[in-house]
Amino acid sequence: MTIDLHAHWRPPALIDALRMREKEPRVIRGDDGIEVLKTRNGETPIEEAFDDIDQRLAEMDQHGITTGVLSLLSSFNWIERLPLQESLPLVRLYNDSISELCRRNEGRFAAFASLPETNIQAAAAELERAIALPGIVGAQVPGNHFMTYRDAEAMRPVLEAANRHKAVLFIHYGPRPGDAWPRIAPDTDNVRRRNGTLDMQASLSSNMVTLCLTDFLDPYPDAKVMLHNLGGNIPYEMERMDHRCLLDTPDEELPSARFARAKVYVDCNSFGPHAIEAGVRAYGADRIVFGTDGTAFGGEWTNNAIRDAEIGEEARRKIRHGNAASMLSHLAPIAVYGQAAE
């Protein structure tokens, strides 16, 4: 009875295409005869680099997830940042294959499309094409496009396409083509904590400020916009913003009111019960959705966090199913509330 909106997927359909490439990302065979996925971040054996559908379904069943909304895993997002003539065939292969997976497992999966990021007009055109495919409910796009209002201007063609189809844009922490990445150097102390938490959460907070404290989304009332990890640190930063607002711009509406009124959704992936409680206070329970990152550990962690959060049963129902159902049910078949995973 749970819809997982943050479920990354490593697409087996790309294996043969990546075998044909001469530059990363590509699949190569090492001197030991073992095939590996070689990316800018290193090498991963094939059996560890791609996902298995039966294993994913079993993990979903174990954690009560009836529908998983799949999105490209970050190590594969680099296909989106290749030159257009290279990226477009790869993202189309991904979108077509993930749609077929949704069709074969109707109600168990929906998916966010992958878009070619080096040409935003081509990205909008691919969203228009992909949204007509079975199971596709929108697209995943990198958060660096929304760090400021000026950055976000370039994405208007994609927002216009999403608005026409009442589709979902999943804004995920990540770079645009050409951005220096990661921002924290590998030889820095605590580099995983600094990149994977501190920089990620700060970036998502900036995305939320752009989307909620400006008029950028006003022309797109029918598009659904979602960020992950509770939209950064906003639940803990709003009071500080309100204080500064009262001191610096007392005639301005308080940021807390604007965040609460905005129609941007956030998932609760990777957070514990106290953070979820803060998120409900900040945004309201009708703006938070379930997310796991697409891992068994994430399923256990998020289930436990929602169970232990002092938010009430109605809020839990909205977070697990109701909010996502209202976002997706007009776009793809999803499991109904109370339906057990099969």
pLDDT at 291 > cutoff 90: yes
For 233, the 3-state DSSP assignment is coil
Residue pLDDT, tens place only, 199-255: 999 999 999 999 999 999 999 999 999 999 999 999 999 999 999 999 999 999 999
Per-residue pLDDT at 75 = 84
Each domain of the chain, given as residue ranges in start order, spans 2-8+53-328
Q: Which has more pLDDT, 202 or 47?
A: 202
Residue pLDDT, tens place only, 115-160: 999 999 999 999 999 999 999 999 999 999 999 999 999 999 999 9
Report long-range pairs for 184-193 (Cβ below 8 Å, ≥24 apart). none
340's tokens: 């057990």
Q: What is the mean pLDDT of residues 287-302?
A: 97
| Alpha-carbon separation of residue 23 from 8, 18, 19, 299 (angstroms) | 24, 9, 10, 35
pLDDT at 70 > cutoff 60: yes
pLDDT band at 31 (very low <50, low <70, confident <90, very high): confident
Instruction: Domain 2-8+53-328: state its class.
Output: alpha beta
Residue 329 burial (C-beta neighbours within 10 Å; 0-12, 13-18, 19+): middle
Residue pLDDT, tens place only, 105-116: 999 999 999 999
pLDDT at 337 > cutoff 70: no
Per-residue pLDDT at 84 = 98
User: Are the beta carbons of 37 and 78 closer than 8 angstroms?
Assistant: no
- CA-to-CA distance for 150 and 56, rounded, in angstroms? 39
Per-residue pLDDT at 41 = 79
**How long, in residues, is the chain?**
342
